[in-house]
Amino acid sequence: MDISVVIPVMNEEGSLKILYSRLKEVLAGLGKSYEIIFVDDGSTDGSFKILESIAKQTEEVRVISFRTNFGQTAALSAGFKYAGGDIIITLDADLQNDPEDIPKLLRKMDEGYDVVSGWRRERHDPLLTRRIPSFFANKIISRITGVRLHDYGCTLKAYRREVVENIDLYGEMHRFIPALAKWVGASIGEVVVKHAPRKYGKSKYGLSRIIAVILDLVTVRFLMSYSTKPIQIFGLLGLISGGIGFVIGVCLVVQRQFFGVALSSRPMLLLAVLLMFVGTQFVSMGLLGEMQVRTYHESQNKPIYVVKKIVGER
Ligand code: UDP
Ligand code: MG
């Protein structure tokens, strides 16, 4: 199969039929084999009924229905798992993404990119609650992850399947898939895509997602740099803290022993003890982290590298 389109759906009954007919037209025009995977993320409206009836009439459509709402990240993750296409395309079910942009993404993929991300340059979402927070979020994410994209929140993206196969998603991580992909060595491209105002249904996200995104960003940053060597970061912090504490302590002891300076009125003593204590804690944390990492990788036979190809295979 050439292309799998994965669409997370939560209470989008108004747009599904139109989305499907527009999508079908675009995909049929490509002259490639394709499938459309709708992931019903615990919809409580008529979404599932509509999807079911579409899937029964057409061979190319599959529907995965969750028992309850597990979130957009889980929905995408399920779609990736079931997808059989060499290229996986994700888009929103609310018609804010334009199915007609898919050929554009594919052309960019043909240039050799492993991931192509949509950039909603003219975004039609509320200014105060969506566009302004997103503006800052995109700047911070691109700075911290080192993946220079303008728009992380855009669901319209294309991936080579090998890339998503190597990525595990948790929390609200779907925004960070390009960053996680870069981490396993993928090349990332970006194309400008259209964006439409939401005509049907309601947006599922408000300001509360900001905190979720910040926490996930911390996790991603940690995973990208230190997840296979926690002692390197925690040990270093511990050595710095403990070292400073130790030096201060030695100075205080010298002053006390040789110059008769009393220790009772010196807050520096407290600081020295605190720093050494924190230092020990950090080092122990690093060691615990090392054990965790081993359990994590060995329990699932998960290597700490990703192979691109092997030449001269046995
Ligand atoms: N969605 C989902 N599960 C959720 C939240 C959202 O499957 O818990 C889907 C939703 O149906 C839509 C897409 O994810 O297809 C993006 O959601 P939404 O349009 O509300 O986000 P926005 O465009 O406002 O950022
Ligand atoms: Mg939307």
Q: Domain ranges for the chain, please list them.
A: 3-226, 230-299
The pLDDT, as a whole number, for residue 260 is 92
Q: Are residues 233 and 267 in contact, defined by beta-carbon separation less than 8 angstroms?
A: no
pLDDT above 90: residue 59: yes
Orientation of helix 230-259 relative to helix 267-299, angle to 10°: 160
pLDDT of residue 139 exceeding 90, the answer is yes
Instruction: Provide the pLDDT for residue 305.
Output: 84
What percentage of the chain has pLDDT greater than the value 90? 83
Q: Quick one: which of 56, 43, 42, 47 has its CA closest to 19?
A: 47
Rounded Cα distance between 155 and 105, Å, is 12
As a whole number of angstroms, the distance between CA 119 and CA 92 comes to 14
Ligand in closest contact with the CA of 206: 1
pLDDT above 90: residue 143: yes
User: Which pLDDT does position 227 carry in this prediction?
Assistant: 81
- pLDDT of 40 higher than 90: yes
Stretch 55-72: mean pLDDT: 96
DSSP label of 94: S
Pocket probe for ligand 1: among 92, 95, 174, 202, the residue whose CB has the most ligand atoms within 8 Å is 92
For the domain covering 3-226, report its CATH number: 3.90.550.10
For 177-228, write each residue's pLDDT tens digit.
999 999 889 999 999 999 999 999 999 998 888 888 989 999 998 888 888 8
Of 29, 28, 13, which Cα lies nearest the Cα of 38?
Answer: 13
For residue 226, the CA-to-ligand 2 centroid distance in Å is: 34
Cβ distance 158 to 109 under 8 Å? yes
What spacing in Å lies between the alpha carbon of 127 and ligand 2's midpoint? Answer: 14
Ranked by mean pLDDT, which of 142-151, 197-206, 276-285 comes out on top?
Answer: 276-285
Question: H or E stretch including 142?
Answer: helix 132-145
> C-alpha angle with apex 174: 217 to 73, nearest 5 degrees?
120
pLDDT at 306: 83
- Report residue 56's pLDDT band, with 50, 70 and 90 as the boundaries: very high
How far is residue 267's CA from residue 264's CA, in Å, rounded to a whole number? Answer: 8
Q: How far is it, in rounded angstroms, from Cα 212 to Cα 204?
A: 14
Which of 163, 169, 168 has its CA nearest to residue 187? 163
C-beta separation of 45 from 76 below 8 A = no
User: What local confidence, expressed as pLDDT, does residue 108 receive?
Assistant: 97
| Residue, of 240 and 207, whose pLDDT is higher | 240
Percent of the chain having pLDDT more than 70? 100
Q: What's 227's DSSP letter?
A: T
pLDDT per residue as tens digits for the range 241-256 = 999 999 999 999 999 9
Question: What pLDDT does residue 171 have?
Answer: 85
Residue 149 has pLDDT above 90, yes or no: yes
Pocket probe for ligand 1: among 16, 63, 72, the residue whose CB has the most ligand atoms within 8 Å is 72
Q: Would you say how long the chain is, in residues?
A: 314
- With a cut of 90, say whether residue 314 has pLDDT above it: no
How far does Cα 86 stand from its chain's mean position? 21
Q: What is the pLDDT of residue 164?
A: 92
Pocket of ligand 1 from Cβ distances under 6 Å: 8-10, 12, 41, 69, 71-72, 75, 92-94, 96, 155, 203-205
pLDDT for residue 112 is more than 90: yes
Predicted TM-score (pTM) of this structure: 0.88
| CA 216–ligand 1 middle distance (angstroms) | 18
What pLDDT score does 95 carry? 96
Query: What rounded mean pLDDT belongs to the chain?
Result: 94
Cα 225 → chain centroid? 15
